[in-house]
Structure 1
Amino acid sequence: MEIGTVIGNVWATRKKEELRGLKFLIIQPELPKDSSVENVTYIAVDQIGAGVGDKVMVTKGSSAANITPDSKLPIDALIIGIIDTVDA
């Protein structure tokens, strides 16, 4: 999992049938200050009602693709929580 901030929306009128009805948001990851990893934005599916400016928890990979019990969706990032506060 990682923490990020929603910085925008993505609208796609033509997409795979199994993606219809899903909301797509642009995520800016929040990395530790001493991290040497590049801070690259990505798209995540949202089913919990996050919006621009929200700080969110995101899971990636096979955990994100398995959001439906019947089949794996062609996604690799899923918003799993909206963060109220972080104490570190």
Structure 2
Amino acid sequence: MFLGRVIGSVWATQKEDGMENLKLLVIQPTDFKDRDAGQTVIAADRIGAGVGEKVIVSRGSPARILFSGKNVPVDAMVVGIVDSYEVTEVGE
């Protein structure tokens, strides 16, 4: 899993079976200081995240498990909208 910020949406009128009702978001991975931390990712979203929100994204097989055995071609899934977090740096 990784932390990210929603920076946009993707609209696709034609999708593979099982993806018909999935919203697709563009996610910028971030670190815990809100700095960009990697390549953008397109992630499926069933929980209603919006542009500007911090989210938790699951990738790979764990993302597909959320579809109850259906074979859906999803590599990344928004699994949480972050309200807040607290991180203590080592040495503080």
- State the TM-score bracket (shorter-chain normalisation): 0.7 to 0.9
Normalised to the residue count of structure 1, the TM-score between the two structures is 0.88
Structure 2 unmatched runs, 5+: 88-92
Structure 1 unmatched runs, 5+: none
Q: Distance in 2 between matches of 1:49 and 1:8?
A: 13
Partner in structure 2 of residue 82 of structure 1: 81
Q: Which runs of 4+ in 1 moved over 4 A?
A: none
Partner in structure 2 of residue 18 of structure 1: 18
Q: Distance in 2 between matches of 1:66 and 1:13?
A: 24
3-state SS of 1:15 partner: coil
Q: Distance in 1 between matches of 2:40 and 2:19?
A: 20
- Correspondence list, 1:1-88, <5 A: 1-31=1-31, 39-88=38-87
Q: Distance in 2 between matches of 1:59 and 1:70?
A: 17
Give 1:31 shift: 3.0
Normalised to the residue count of structure 2, the TM-score between the two structures is 0.84
Bigger Rg over Cα: 2
Query: Quick one: which amino acid aligns to residue 70 of structure 2?
Result: S
Q: Distance in 2 between matches of 1:7 and 1:78?
A: 15
Q: Report the count of equivalent residues.
A: 84
Q: Distance in 2 between matches of 1:47 and 1:9?
A: 13
3-state SS of 2:18 partner: helix
Residue 67 of structure 1 contacts residue 73 of structure 1 at CA under 8 Å; is this kept in 2?
no
